[in-house]
Structure 1
Amino acid sequence: MLRITEFLQPSCIKMELESNKKKDVLLELLTLFQHEGLIDEAQKDHIWKDLLEREKVSSTGIGSGVAIPHKIVPGLQTTVIAFGRKKKGVPFDSIDGQPVTLLFLILGKEGSEAFHLRLLSKLARLLQQEAFREELIRSESPDQILSILHRWEEE
């Protein structure tokens, strides 16, 4: 069974993003990967530029306060996920025009495109459920975030 929690480490969860702009929250999430040694500085800069270009074409803000930016990254060893929350919300050019409070950034390894899309689809389905989103907003720790994800993945 495909589990989101297998790819999200507690250290890649930011309970309250500091930034107030789309470009800055993306960099903030990428920095979590860098601090864990999952990407290096050069990769971070390259991925950030690519994510910003992707956002210019079409926002990954899918509505209901959610964004799921994602990218396949050559040279990445494994798929990784970062989570960030901004209770006040971040302007994200979302399809519903609402600010984003919950962000999941997915980086997939080259050659895993089908898997990447399945993971993205599963996460999007969970995030469509208001009760799930509300639990994430109310959570108080990275461990709670992981517990919520794990429980909802079981249902």
Structure 2
Amino acid sequence: MSVLSLFTEETIFNPLKVRSKKQLLVKLSDLAAVKTGLKSSDIFQALIDREKLGSTALGHGVAIPHLSVKDCPSVSVFLAILDKPISFDAIDGQPIDVVVFLLAPEDKNGLHLRTMSKISRLLRDEDFCLRLRGAGDPAATLAVLFDREEQNKSFKLRA
């Protein structure tokens, strides 16, 4: 399975309108709750607790908030391209506008880490991120992801 196959038009939000880190985390929690059946408030609190350990912003306008959660049914990823960059306590001090939220079952830590590693490597490509930012809607964003997958077969995951 390819890590990029985890994305669907229903898990891509482009553009997403939020004005703060907290508002973004609330929105991601709500979206994840709908897909997973978990409580939004529990996801939000886990995200807040994770961010207290250190910002999940990679720099260059990209963040990958991620969690392993008890009772999570499967690995889920959500991609948001923000309509305007927001402060996210990034190490480079830059605001973020590309966000991938990864939510995984607590008992699948290895899969969680492999998925995060592949997504992180993908999002370090500034040209690719520019294409995501310019996509404009979920369908076009998904097309950018699939085009990237065709170019590079190294996004395969082992169970």
TM-score (norm 1): 0.90
Counterpart of 1:32, as a letter, is L
Tell me how far apart the structure 2 counterparts of residues 44 and 8 of structure 1 sit (CA, whole Å). 20
Q: 1:56 is matched with which residue? A: 52
Residue identity over aligned pairs, in percent, reads 32
> Which digits, 9 at most, give the CA deviation of each residue in 1:39-86, with x for residues without a partner?
34xx22111111112112200011000000000111111100111111
Query: Structure 2 matches for 1:1-155, cutoff 5 A?
Result: 2-36=1-35, 38-40=36-38, 43-154=39-150, 155=152
Segment of structure 1 superposing worse, 125-134 or 4-13: 4-13
Stretches of 4+ moved more than 4 A in 1?
A: none
Q: 1:105/1:136 Cα in 2 relative to 1: closer, same or farther (>3 Å)? A: same
Q: Distance between the aligned counterparts of 2:78 and 2:34, measured in 1?
A: 12
Q: Which runs of 5+ in 1 are unaligned?
A: none
Distance 2:131 2:21 in 1: 23
Aligned length: 151
What is the aligned-residue RMSD (CA, Å)? 1.4
| Contact 1:126–1:152 (CA under 8 A) maintained in structure 2 | no
CA distance in 1, matches of 2:122, 2:4: 13
Which stretch shows the higher mean deviation, 4-13 or 115-124?
Answer: 4-13
**Structure 2 counterpart of 1:39, one-letter code:** G
1:64-119 superposed Cα distances (whole Å, 9 cap, x missing partner): 00000000111111100111111420100001100001000000012211111111
Between the aligned partners of 1:33 and 1:10, the Cα distance in structure 2 is 14
